Structure 1
């Protein structure tokens, strides 16, 4: 993905106000160096981020992403983001996106080691072409995440449920999925429950009921899943959150991995076993997800 624009942000306090919000932003050359050697986002992955899908210049589900950014900051003991400022940054970089699909990334780091303040920036880039996986689907394997379903309650310092920059495990899981001949993975708990994908949320269909894992096992609450559940409820379907045993994956009528940029990718195969794909219904989900959503 080629960066179109980059914006460094001088973070305001959560309750700070200014008559000149633009003065807190500095546009930088996305191809030029911008971070110092002591930056903790690169040294330790000590920070948080959000990825916002953009369709024809319209950033999708901005408020949900900002709320999740604030939640991640709280879990990581980072300063609470000034949501007005971050909203302004999103609109500023979205104006550079133009037609087609793009992605905005918001990053809040603890800053330079022993430094006085956090580091923050926003970028916009052209999105990859996911049209094929939205129609042809993806093959998925299950991978043990290595902790039990109750780990977040007993070990909050693991930061489960925060969208941190520490994505080495997520990327390693994707590489392992590729080694096994699959396109993606679904994490499972060590005691046999379904969690989430490395970069997406899982949704299952059982008849006219749509199910996603309850966000109490260290699962990142997906903004796309939340939006789809509202859409499905408006269409008369039932939507529920459950603690899902791994065995239930294989009995679902259909399944998708959903995320802000790839959108809804139907699962065609799980651990080598074929799953049913409803191409027409999947197309209707992606039509909704490609429509302007606030």
Structure 2
């Protein structure tokens, strides 16, 4: 059983009508050099990506992820990815780690300066063990994202709705959260509204209603959040997209960060103040999120 796997992809035109794209995939030695020094993904972070959770060889929410990859590509003026080519690449990669939890990453880059463009690859590797954090939850701090709620619509060149490779700010926010004695962060706008975590979507509960920030605020539309909403609606709960203030988060009946690999983790404190949690529902959500979808 492979523990790590890499597949280079020769992107094809989105209108290509073939059924089998296996001849566009080349398996790579994960310990060998693979990218040119002129590659824009490493020089400028100029590309987009997706991370897909895999459980016992089954990749979850594949369609939502490839559609979001295409959405990010449009925002960044990248060539449209051929969705069936990427679906087949995901299937090949997921099959290489048939047991346990794994992560498949899709990367689409603008390419190489004066060379092939775009460039693309898929990787697969075992996921970290998140069982403890799913059980115990996380303490978060709110961090200023540096812009107001309308920035995404007013300034599309900021690429706020795209999942780009430029994750330096996200990682810096996590380091700052840990410096403040917390486990994670929630970004807030200059005018006091909550957005998302650096690597997760935010869902808050008020009574029997579950609320998340509307994607129009310039955040990623979370694939796991969509799955959670479908599950909650099947249980008879109300779900909503809305504008949430920092006080809405601090006074919520419960709140979660949800993402494809870590799944659902309860927020147990906000800026040092304890927040109520629902361990039974958290466990229920994670049982659902670990099931094939």
Bin for the TM-score computed over the shorter chain: over 0.9
Aligned residues: 292
Give the Cα–Cα distance (whole angstroms) in 2 for the partners of residues 190 and 204 of structure 1. 20
Q: Does the 8 Å contact 1:256/1:264 carry over to 2?
A: yes
Give the Cα–Cα distance (whole angstroms) in 1 for the partners of residues 140 and 245 of structure 2. 17
CA-to-aligned-CA distance 1:149-176 (integer Å, 9 cap, x gap): 0001111100001000000000000000
3-state SS of 2:124 partner: strand
Relative to 1, partners in 2 of residues 1:256 and 1:19: Cα closer, same or farther, differing over 3 Å?
A: closer
Partner of 1:105: 105
Give the Cα–Cα distance (whole angstroms) in 2 for the partners of residues 43 and 116 of structure 1. 15
Displacement of 1:18? 2.9
Q: Does the 8 Å contact 1:105/1:123 carry over to 2?
A: yes
Give the Cα–Cα distance (whole angstroms) in 1 for the partners of residues 279 and 247 of structure 2. 24
Relative to 1, partners in 2 of residues 1:280 and 1:19: Cα closer, same or farther, differing over 3 Å?
A: closer
3-state SS of 2:121 partner: strand
CA-to-aligned-CA distance 1:229-251 (integer Å, 9 cap, x gap): 00000000000000111111111
CA-to-aligned-CA distance 1:152-211 (integer Å, 9 cap, x gap): 111110000100000000000000000000000000001110100000000000010000
Partner of 1:7: 7
Partner of 2:279: 279
Unaligned runs of 5+ in 2: none
What RMSD over aligned residues (CA atoms) do the two structures have, in Å? 1.0
Give the Cα–Cα distance (whole angstroms) in 2 for the partners of residues 39 and 136 of structure 1. 41
Give the Cα–Cα distance (whole angstroms) in 1 for the partners of residues 286 and 77 of structure 2. 36
Displacement of 1:253? 0.1
Displacement of 1:31? 1.1
Are 1:88 and 2:71 counterparts?
no
Q: TM-score if structure 1 supplies the norm length?
A: 0.98
3-state SS of 1:216 partner: helix
Relative to 1, partners in 2 of residues 1:80 and 1:3: Cα closer, same or farther, differing over 3 Å?
A: farther
Q: Which range is displaced more, 107-116 or 11-20? A: 11-20
Displacement of 1:148? 0.5
CA-to-aligned-CA distance 1:8-52 (integer Å, 9 cap, x gap): 000011111335411000000111110000000000000000000
Give the Cα–Cα distance (whole angstroms) in 1 for the partners of residues 13 and 222 of structure 2. 26
Question: Aligned runs of 1:16-27 on 2, under 5 Å?
Answer: 16-18=16-18, 20-27=20-27
Partner of 2:256: 256
User: Where does structure 1 differ by over 6 angstroms across 4 or more consecutive aligned residues?
Assistant: none
Partner of 2:46: 46
Give the Cα–Cα distance (whole angstroms) in 1 for the partners of residues 245 and 115 of structure 2. 45
Give the Cα–Cα distance (whole angstroms) in 2 for the partners of residues 240 and 18 of structure 1. 40
Give the Cα–Cα distance (whole angstroms) in 2 for the partners of residues 41 and 234 of structure 1. 40
Are 1:60 and 2:69 counterparts?
no
Unaligned runs of 5+ in 1: none
Question: Aligned runs of 1:152-167 on 2, under 5 Å?
Answer: 152-167=152-167
